[in-house]
Amino acid sequence: MKGLIKYSGNPVLSAQNIPYNSSLVFNAGVTKYNGKYIMVFRNDYGFFPGGQKDKGTNIGVAFSDDGLNWETQPTPWIEIKDDPEISRFYDPRLTVIDGRCYMCFAVDTEHGVRGGVAVTDDFDSYEILSMSTPDNRNMVLFPEKIKGNFIRLERPFPEYGRGYKERFDIWMSESPDCRYWGDTRLVLGTEDVPFANSKIGPGAPPVKTSAGWLTTFHAVWKHEDKLLKGWETSDWRKEYYGGLALLDLDDPSKVIGIYKEPLLKAEHEYEIDGFRGSVIFPGGMILEDDGEVKIYYGAADTFEAVATADVNYLISLCK
């Protein structure tokens, strides 16, 4: 049974592969759609070691036949410009449900951070189905409806209600149509993750296995005793790990297993050093027919990388 292997060709996508203005390429959503691998990635431009100039964020698209070698579209897909309320969309996650491709994304607005859900059939036009109240983000959709409803994991960030401690948890909501969300319940608290002393949040959209919904999450450990690498600030201390959990097939708000250690942690140069070093941010997970799982993750808020493992190995870690 194959353990976890980070791809030797990592990063699979970085600014140098992008045919338009680009500094940081990371936190992508990845899925298989109409026979192709599709990556929708966050592209931040105007950031340089030592400064920022004319900075912005757009969303780009890349296609692949094997999930490893990517061809980027010649122009960005989505960029918010001259909107008095919304400044940007970022951190997209993709889920194919009943043959249509849904995208969750974070939205920075003048009045807080919102979680958006959109649908596209061609990665050209898209329809926004809902935007949450602030502050909420890191939303992901399950690949099938359960008892007739769309299911979404999400990460509200209640500062007042959590004592201004940056102690944020993973929640779940349901919707009949992806527009109206409710029946919200807690899935996983930060206190249940031994390698988080700060916030956690959903990672890639879950994949279905006979043992349960296999899902990644990110977990933040804030080091009081050491500085991490990174060129945004000289005081970067938040290490982001990739975690792994198993959720009940019928009621995914029930956690039936969790791997007590980080599945993914920063160890290579492309993970340790970048805009914000030691940040691992899973956003895409694909279960192949032969049982191989590809996990795509943002590395150091600068690159997009991939790791693979056998699905049964991943399930065994959660038990």
Binding site for ligand BMA (CB under 6 A): 27, 91, 240, 276, 279, 281, 298, 301
Q: Which two tokens stand for residue 165?
A: 């401690």
CB 157, min distance to ligand BMA, A = 9
Which structure tokens are listed for 313?
Answer: 């190995």
CB of 313 to ligand BMA, least distance (A): 26
Residue number, 202 or 257, with CB nearest to ligand BMA? 202
What are the two backbone dihedrals, phi and then psi, of residue 315, each rounded to the nearest 5 degrees?
Answer: -60, -40
Q: Are 280 and 242 in contact (CB under 8 A)?
A: yes
Closest CA to 31 of 291, 297, 286: 286
DSSP conformation class of 90:
E
Q: Please state the closest distance from residue 90 (CB atom) to ligand BMA, in A.
A: 6
**Closer CB to ligand BMA, residue 150 or residue 168?**
168
CB nearer ligand BMA, residue 91 or residue 154: 91
Q: Which amino acid is at 294?
A: K
Centroid of chain to Cα 60: 15
- Pick 228 or 318: Cβ nearer ligand BMA: 228
Give the whole-angstrom CA distance, residue 159 versus residue 273: 29
Would you say 40 or 311 has its CB closer to ligand BMA?
40
* Least distance CB 42 / ligand BMA (angstroms): 7
Q: In sequence order, which residues have a C-beta less than 8 Å from that of residue 19 and are 6 or more positions away?
A: 72, 74
Q: Terminal CA-to-CA distance of the chain, rounded, Å?
A: 16
Residues 6+ apart with CB under 8 A from 268: 6, 10, 299
Q: Which amino acid would we find at residue 24?
A: L
CB of 263 to ligand BMA, least distance (A): 17
- Give which of 279, 248, 246, 243 is closest to 260, Cα–Cα: 243
Minimum distance, C-beta of residue 106 to ligand BMA, in the bound complex (Å): 7
Q: How far is the CB of 98 from ligand BMA (least distance, A)?
A: 29
Q: Which is nearer to ligand BMA, 252 or 282 (CB)?
A: 282
CB closer to ligand BMA, 244 vs 299:
299
Q: What is the dihedral of CA 84, 87, 93, 99, to 10 degrees?
A: 30
Cα 127-286-187 angle, rounded to 5 deg: 75
